[in-house]
Amino acid sequence: MNSSIFRYSILFVLLLTLGSWGEKAHRKINSSCVDYFPKELSRLKVWAPVLADHSSDADFRKKDDKNEFVRHFIDIDNYADFANTHIIAEDFKIACTQYGKGNVIKNGTLPWVTDSTYKELVQDFKSENWEQAKLTAADLGHYVGDGFMPLHITVNYNGQLSHQTGIHRRYEETMIDKYIDEISFKTSGIKKVTNVKSYIFRYIYDNYSYTGLLLQADSRAYEKAGKEFNETYYESLWKETGLFTTRLLQESSRTLASFIYSAWLEAGKPEIPESKGEISR
Ligand SMILES: [Zn+2]
């Protein structure tokens, strides 16, 4: 097995067994987004439990759809353009021409998939298909959340390149699950996003800066805990990353709310029926 196939299979297994952020974090991101809705969307607040229940559907699809797994990440630091200019070609076709379609797919298609899911939501609103709209919104929340998870935007997604293998699960699942009750979001106003694709790339570029901080925090916590992943390790990891982790989760939720609002505006503000957002699973 050559090394890239090997790496690909490891990633495949990892992404199958792990849920991006863990399931709890995805639930929180999705269900909290309704707290940011402006008055005009207040009838959609009833979506909260459905958005939570379907927040990891996109991860579960990986089992049946082999095309799904590249949709959850982008190894942005695999692009020389990113190292040199901190941006990459953002148009999918241009990116394919410039970097080769195979490379673009292999490096993960998260930003483009987030954008196309947004467009689907606009269509669902236009056709007033409220049942489908909430499921599409749940998927959108999942992909937005992945874009705010620092280890989903780096080639060193599991610390395997810096002798920190296993950081993915330690951070997103074990640590978050331990401290989820301490995470609370500040609500604030949201605005219409005019260029969704460019907005997505901006947050991916910005969130990339947290990969370094996270990996440093992991190393320090490991040393502090006597080279073990014990309680001391997790306390230290949380102490060093809790602030920005909370911010990343909060911004995921706020971004999801902005996207839902923008999609509804772009669809021409279809009238939201009173009880259509209610649970029907
Ligand atoms: Zn995911």
Ligand 1: centre distance to CA 183 (Å) = 20
Q: Please tell me the pTM assigned to this model.
A: 0.91
Task: Give pLDDT, residue 276.
Answer: 45
For residues 47 and 273, is the Cβ–Cβ distance under 8 A? no
Amino acid at 81: D
Ligand 1: centre distance to CA 262 (Å) = 23
Ligand 1: centre distance to CA 22 (Å) = 9
Rounded alpha-carbon distances, angstroms, from residue 72 to 59, 119, 127, 191, 238: 8, 17, 27, 26, 24
pLDDT tens, the chain, 281 aa long: 445 555 555 555 555 555 567 889 999 999 999 999 999 999 999 999 999 999 999 999 999 999 999 999 999 999 999 999 999 999 999 999 999 999 999 999 999 999 999 999 999 999 999 999 999 999 999 999 999 999 999 999 999 999 999 999 999 999 999 999 999 999 888 999 999 999 999 999 999 999 999 999 999 999 999 999 999 999 999 999 999 999 999 999 999 999 999 999 999 999 999 864 455 44
Rounded alpha-carbon distances, angstroms, from residue 67 to 99, 151, 227: 20, 20, 38
Rounded alpha-carbon distances, angstroms, from residue 229 to 33, 69, 201: 33, 28, 34
Ligand 1: centre distance to CA 251 (Å) = 17
Ligand 1: centre distance to CA 100 (Å) = 24
Ligand 1: centre distance to CA 70 (Å) = 9
Task: Give pLDDT, residue 5.
Answer: 54
Q: Record the tokens describing residue 185, joined without a space.
A: 């979001």
- State which residues have CB under 5 angstroms from ligand 1, the bound ion: 20, 59, 72, 146
Ligand 1: centre distance to CA 55 (Å) = 9
Task: Give pLDDT, residue 109.
Answer: 98
